[in-house]
Structure 1
Amino acid sequence: MTSNATDQPHVILVPGYWLGAWAWDDVVPALKEQGLDVEAITPSGLDEQDPNRKNTTLQDQVDALQALVEQAGGDVVLVGHSGANAAVSTVTDRTPQLLRRVIWVDSGPMPDGGAFAPELPQDIEELPLPDFDTLGQQASLEGLSDGQLKTFRARAVPEPAGVARATVSLTNDRRHSVPTTLICCSLPSNQVLELAQARHPMFAAVNDLIDVQIVDLPTGHWPMWSRSEDLANAIAAAALAS
């Protein structure tokens, strides 16, 4: 049954590159059934109806997400998947006092000065979803059905290049103290921790976390489709953890 408790956190689900709020369609109902107040968002620049979306910057995504966190007024759980880590890391840096927890879905916090594709030529305006052979070499497609891949292809929106080029600026050490959960999918947690300890750029910031919980959910890079119920259960457990 759905709970009406007022002490439930406000959970904001932020999808990665090429995705909108629709990416969480199989997760949101399961979270609501567990009594959580849930909001799945479409990051700035990922709404295909936005005529200015190609000009979207990381700052635009950060400002929009920060506004939602501030509007909630506190006790927010931010859930960031994949390339959402730039915006989620920055908002965590700006508003750590408003966050109950940050949950990373096959992702992790970015370090100060990090960037997804800093060398991307300036004449490139957007990054379309690659063909699946190419994408599969970059991120695991394990567990995705033909139907899910077709939906992914049909609904994917090119990522604004300005978001990918942007460098993350982080200045508030309080971000390290925000309770954090890593849901490890395409890489097992022991490998993630080894990479973090080796200061691999993708996971180096994990070493700075003071309160971190790790959950293994073996599947591909898009668990919201391949293991949606299990992902919802993992998010709910983390969100409700004290």
Structure 2
Amino acid sequence: MTTIASSPTIILIAGHWLGAWAWDDVLEHLKADHSRATAMTLPGLDADDPERAARTLDDQVAAVVGLFARLGVSGEQPAVIVAHSGANAPVSLVLDRHPELVQRVVWGDSGPMATGSAFAPDLPEEVDELPLPSFDVLGQQASLDGLSADVPDRFRARAIPEPGSVLRQPVELTNDARNGVPTTLVCCSIPSVQMLEMAREGRPMFAEVAKLQNVNVIDLATGHWPMWSRPRDLAELIQSEASRIG
């Protein structure tokens, strides 16, 4: 049975090239509902960090766990993590290392990574960072549906190159308890029916979904950046899912 939790801490983590600013529109709606929500910028994506290009996945995991500590997250008061796109690498590691600190993970057009996988394992070692590609190229990799005309310019102006070390580093997972963390899959650019079928077929990008023990699947039809294309709907979904236990 699903029960309702008191307002948990909600931590929003955006994908590649993005910082906490990417969630501004969603936070506006969440704060209106008095949620305990905050967005974070992962190490490597802070423009003011002179060493940002050298940051690693381990640095990102440490930053999430450090934020847990500052916000009073514990086994008795676990957090809800909302992970978008390429945030799946550090969040998969957080779930593996500290499943007891996560009440629920909400994957936004994303999902858990498999052990040994990396976003760009063949990226040459001499590549220190990967800038945001052109939108022609980006649109071939991820759906731009639903974005208003001003979003690409804002994205381009604020995007931070992704550290090469983060993109190359494989995710090493050892704790099967991560699969028991209550999970919500928000399917945006790929419908849930198609995603679940690929998971059952063992497609590498979706194979971990088949291992989840407690999962809720929701369609939010839009492109790959729902925090910009459907911020109110995404905020309402996050609020609803954050209130669930089990």
* Band of TM-score, shorter chain: over 0.9
Q: How far has the Cα of 1:234 moved from its partner?
A: 0.8
Give the alignment of 1:11-50 within 5 angstroms: 11-50=10-49
SS at match of 2:38: strand
Conserved in 1, the CA contact under 8 Å of 2:53 and 2:164? Answer: yes
Q: Which residue is 2:99 aligned to?
A: 96
Q: Which residue of 2 aligns with 1:127?
A: 130
Structure 1 runs (4+) greater than 4 angstroms displaced: none
The CA deviation at 1:69 is 2.4
What's the CA shift for 1:70? 3.9
- TM-score if structure 1 supplies the norm length? 0.96
8 A contact 1:126–1:159 mirrored in 2: yes
Give distance in 2, aligned partners of 1:66 and 1:102: 15
SS at match of 2:195: helix
| Alpha-carbon displacement from aligned partner over 1:160-197 (angstroms, at most 9, x marks no partner) | 00000010011111111100000000000001101111
More relative contact order in 1 or in 2 (CA 8 Å, sep 6+)?
A: 2
Report the equivalent of 2:66.
Answer: 67
Amino acid at match of 2:189: S
Percent identity between the two aligned chains: 55
Give the match for residue 241 of structure 2: 238
TM-score norm. by structure 2 comes to 0.94
6-15 vs 228-237, which deviates more? 6-15
| Aligned-partner SS, 1:146 | coil
Q: Does residue 1:222 correspond to 2:222, yes or no?
A: no
1:103-182 equivalence runs, <5 A: 103-182=106-185
- 8 A Cα contact 2:6 2:243, kept in partner: no
1:3 matched to which residue of 2? none
Q: Aligned-residue CA RMSD in angstroms?
A: 1.1
Q: Which blocks of at least 5 consecutive residues in structure 1 are unaligned?
A: 1-5
Name the amino acid aligned to 2:47: E
Structure 2 gap ranges (5+): none
